[in-house]
Amino acid sequence: MVKISLVITKRYKRTIIESTPVILMGSLLTGLVMSYLIIWATVGLDPLSFFTTFYQTLVSYTGLLESLLFLTILGTAISIAFYGSYWNVGAEGQYVLGMLGAIYVVMFSPLSGFLSGNDLVSAAVLKLAAILLGGALGALWSLIPGLIKVFTKISEIPIMLLMNYIAYSLSDYLTAGPWKGRYTYGYIRTDMISESARLTVIPGLETLRYEVVIAAIVVLVSIYLILDHTLLGLKIKFLGTNPTALKSSGFDERKVTVSVATISGFIAGLAGAMRLLGYDYRLPYNIGDGKTGFYGYTAILVAWLSFRDIRFIVPSAIIVSALSSFGYRIQMSLKGLLPPGISAYAFSQIFIGTTLIVYTLTRITKEFSVKLVIRR
């Protein structure tokens, strides 16, 4: 039997490239050049139109900002979990649960009846309740694998992946069953939530909502404060770096894991609730078919790229959203240029892939050395 292991060891000596901005720009540049070379070799796209597309993506920041905000919130949720060595790959499911909580409050709960009036105060209360319940359900969804981890030592990762599917199914069940809408032109989906329950569009920046901007800032700042200025944050950092020291100092490792799971799930649920109230307004059927935008998964990338450092969340979120957006535009501009059988999608993926690989590799080799060991 052949066993292959990837061995990653901490580096003694620093590499030449140290500064993160340099790594960031370098990766983008390499990705750009590499993907341009491939496109040029295949279809001969002229450099001018290629780089104008890229430039336009950077300039049309409003589209970027929307995904940037959601990736920031979700990336923070996952990152705080990573700080405490809780590998939250279940943010996608927690996000869906957040949507369910929100639509329940504004459409099906007793609250929705009391507060359906159009006055600002009751609308605000309704929205707040929806967002909070969304957060609570997300927290619950993350708490389950957390408790299983703590009491049975079973890894949270497979359980969370499974629970993402359960979340999709639960949503589909409700959408097709008890929550099925009446005014849907024959589609299976829920009705739209009432106007007064929707989040507020920022004038001039149609893709943004006040509440989401505020939430992103509040989440980022409070996680930063928790980590650096509370006992809980200190415990989380010890949990992630040396759990034995945490235990020998009289703290219960399990309780800290459970707290981290709850906080992380709460934030992910919050994001889902805001997505529903601010953008989607209803639940679609087959939600697992990419109708969530897979934000919960993409955000893992954001958290991973930030390497357990809360200060890198926003830069990482910028990279990831710029990449997806640019990839999409390249795809559009290549349409018609390509010979049949070669998809434009492939090219956008080449660009995203190259950039991320270069970025990740340089960041990893900055701190670690990686080797391959083959055992026969």
| Contact set with other proteins (CB under 8 A) | 5, 7, 9, 12-13, 228-234, 237-238, 241-242, 244-252, 371, 373, 375
Q: How far is CA 114 from the centre of its chain?
A: 34
- Taking residue 306's Cβ as centre, other Cβ atoms within 10 Å add up to 23
Q: Which two tokens stand for residue 373?
A: 């060991």
Q: Of the two residues 82 and 179, which places its CB atom closer to other proteins in the complex?
A: 82
If the CB atoms of residues 346 and 361 are measured against other proteins, the closer one turns out to be 361
Give residue for tokens 């993402």.
Answer: 164
Shortest distance, position 329 Cβ to other proteins, whole Å: 40
Q: Tell the smallest beta-carbon distance from residue 272 to other proteins (Å).
A: 28
Residue 167 CB, shortest distance to other proteins, in Å, is 32
Between CA 71 and CA 300 the distance in angstroms is 9
| Minimum CB distance to other proteins smaller for 180 or for 308 | 308
SS3 143: helix
By beta-carbon proximity to other proteins, the closer residue of 62 and 230 is 230
Report in angstroms the alpha-carbon separations of 5 from 2, 357, 362, 364. Answer: 10, 20, 21, 17
Any bridge partners for residue 189, and if so which? 284
Alpha-carbon distance of 46 to 53, in angstroms, equals 11
Query: Minimum CB separation from other proteins for residue 230, in Å?
Result: 6
- What's the min distance (Å) between Cβ of 139 and other proteins? 19
Cα angle 168-201-131, degrees, rounded to a multiple of 5: 40
Q: Which of these, 294, 295, 272, lies nearest to 283 by C-alpha position? A: 272
Q: Return the number of the residue (180 or 254) whose C-beta is nearest other proteins.
A: 254
Angle subtended by helix axes 61-83 and 253-275, to nearest 10:
160
Q: How far is the CB of 142 from other proteins (least distance, A)?
A: 22
209 or 235: whose CB is closer to other proteins? 235
